[in-house]
Chains A and B, each alone.
Chain A
């Protein structure tokens, strides 16, 4: 038996750490979502699909920039010393994932802008014909390949960063897993594929995205399993952390919202849809995205609650 009594009761720290509220899970979800969209748009550009009239490449960069900005707004709202936010960009701290993330986020905007110029939305082309001349300049095959590769590389970096941000904080056993990076990346990809499926107009693209999303969801299930096995085969503190979602207080949220509603049910719906047994509906993609958000909420909450044995 161990009984520990502290005379301390610091706000946000005691009795359990809860320094990060809704803002960080929302930021991690939106960041992962944008990361997935950058990979998808990079792939489409690499395949030359951006030249097609109805390609979803024309709307993804603008939407991604808006979604990422909302994510950064959530991150800003979480800061306690808001007026000093510019300090992020007066230094580069090589050991800090958050510093890496801040600079990656800055690079993401020009990469998205390059695709935006390469394939502007129809509405803007109508308003300002100069866009077509600008697009032609970006249309050199070498430039196109560079833009596509940059979006894919930055997308992978951004997606993994959203997981590494947590896994680098070794004081929290639930986060102390290198698998969090790939998990958040594949979750971001599945959310992005789901969203792109919703907004794509081209039937072939929608089919491709639905099939891809099914693959991402199967991989996500596999990575979730690996994540739990990894924790269960580690230290006593990590085994205790895994129990938060294996019988502990976050079990229902994890298995019902993240795995059930967010992965298994939409996977079944979309498998039936791509095999043409039922019609494509927005329900599957919306559930995938809700599951992606729930994953970040559960992981952030579980990490903060988990701790090394005191004393």
Chain B
């Protein structure tokens, strides 16, 4: 069974927010809320500064704390692609998953359930890329099976320097940023 993940090339991401708009359109994300977003991080000391632009979302962790803390099993790892999703009609809206996520990737949907990125599982099941990946004008986003050594994501990770976000939290995120 596949283990889907994402690789994002920070050298070609320009922060255009096309991915954000595509996600909101594809998934009907309510106004004022975001399943994905752009982070612009500046580090260093003037004049030696480093700028990294990233598109961020739920990291679909291998060790997802949002799943282990969920009291009803609403947050779970879907067998298809090991994607972390929420079953709306099981969610009681206790917000433990929000508090457990080091990426603050979840929000409360106006209908009351916990909501977040699903890697557009409905599209992936049809053999398509997630909407954010499909629309990226600089092709900085790649999606695929991390367990397949011949997938584009695995090849990029094997050949390029990369990092994941907040690795110290120990959640084993599956979104990697090429540097």
- Once A17-B104, A85-B92 are accepted as A-B contacts, the answer to whether A172 and B72 lie under 8 Å apart by CB is no
- Once A80-B112, A90-B72 are accepted as A-B contacts, the answer to whether A2 and B37 lie under 8 Å apart by CB is no
B93 contacts across to A, CB distance below 8 A: 79-82, 84
A102 contacts across to B, CB distance below 8 A: 71
Interface string of A156-192 (1 = CB under 8 A from B): 0000000001001111100000000000000000000
- Once A5-B39, A310-B165 are accepted as A-B contacts, the answer to whether A91 and B112 lie under 8 Å apart by CB is no
Is A96 at the interface (CB under 8 A from chain B)? yes
Is B34 at the interface (CB under 8 A from chain A)? yes
Give residues of chain B (53-96) contacting chain A, Cβ–Cβ below 8 Å.
56, 65, 68-74, 89-96
CA distance A171 to B43 in the complex (A): 23
Task: Say how far B58's CB is from chain A's closest CB, in angstroms.
Answer: 12
CA distance A219 to B43 in the complex (A): 45
Which of A6, A85, A97, A237 meets B38, CB within 8 Å?
A6
- Once A6-B39, A12-B107, A81-B112 are accepted as A-B contacts, the answer to whether A93 and B100 lie under 8 Å apart by CB is no
Q: CB-nearest residue of chain A relative to B113? A: A81
Is B17 at the interface (CB under 8 A from chain A)? yes
Whether the pair B166, A97 counts as a contact (CB closer than 8 A) is no
- Once A81-B113, A308-B168, A311-B41 are accepted as A-B contacts, the answer to whether A303 and B99 lie under 8 Å apart by CB is yes
Interface string of B152-179 (1 = CB under 8 A from A): 0000000000000110111100000000
Task: Say how far A84's CB is from chain B's closest CB, in angstroms.
Answer: 5
CA distance A8 to B52 in the complex (A): 17
Whether the pair B95, A237 counts as a contact (CB closer than 8 A) is no
**Number of A-B residue pairs with CB-CB distance less than 8 Å in the complex they form:** 164
CA distance A85 to B89 in the complex (A): 10
Task: Say how far A102's CB is from chain B's closest CB, in angstroms.
Answer: 6
Task: Say how far A267's CB is from chain B's closest CB, in angstroms.
Answer: 32
Is A78 at the interface (CB under 8 A from chain B)? yes
Q: CB-nearest residue of chain A relative to B74? A: A87
CA distance A20 to B108 in the complex (A): 12
Is A233 at the interface (CB under 8 A from chain B)? no
Which of A13, A81, A99 meets B98, CB within 8 Å?
A13
B74 contacts across to A, CB distance below 8 A: 87
Q: CB-nearest residue of chain B relative to A24? A: B95
Which of B37, B71, B168, B171 meets A96, CB within 8 Å?
B71
Whether the pair A1, B42 counts as a contact (CB closer than 8 A) is yes
Which of B92, B95, B107, B169 meets A10, CB within 8 Å?
B107
User: How many residues from B make CB contacts under 8 Å with A?
Assistant: 50
A7 contacts across to B, CB distance below 8 A: 17, 20, 34, 37-39
Whether the pair A19, B98 counts as a contact (CB closer than 8 A) is yes
A9 contacts across to B, CB distance below 8 A: 32, 34
Whether the pair A4, B41 counts as a contact (CB closer than 8 A) is yes
Whether the pair A171, B40 counts as a contact (CB closer than 8 A) is no
Is B120 at the interface (CB under 8 A from chain A)? no
CA distance A310 to B72 in the complex (A): 29
- Once A1-B44, A171-B100, A307-B102 are accepted as A-B contacts, the answer to whether A8 and B165 lie under 8 Å apart by CB is no
Which of B17, B41, B73, B171 meets A2, CB within 8 Å?
B41
Whether the pair A2, B42 counts as a contact (CB closer than 8 A) is yes
CA distance A90 to B72 in the complex (A): 8
A309 contacts across to B, CB distance below 8 A: 166, 168
CA distance A277 to B88 in the complex (A): 61
Whether the pair B166, A99 counts as a contact (CB closer than 8 A) is no
B171 contacts across to A, CB distance below 8 A: 171
B136 contacts across to A, CB distance below 8 A: none
- Once A4-B39, A81-B112 are accepted as A-B contacts, the answer to whether A170 and B71 lie under 8 Å apart by CB is no
A169 contacts across to B, CB distance below 8 A: 65, 69, 96, 99-100
Whether the pair B70, A96 counts as a contact (CB closer than 8 A) is yes
Is B125 at the interface (CB under 8 A from chain A)? no
A–B pairs, 7, beta carbons within 8 Å: A1-B42, A2-B42, A7-B37, A19-B98, A101-B71, A168-B100, A308-B102
Please give 15 more A-B residue pairs, beta carbons under 8 A apart, in addition to A17-B104, A80-B94, A84-B72: A1-B44, A7-B20, A10-B107, A19-B95, A19-B99, A79-B92, A79-B93, A84-B91, A96-B96, A102-B71, A169-B96, A310-B39, A310-B166, A311-B39, A311-B41
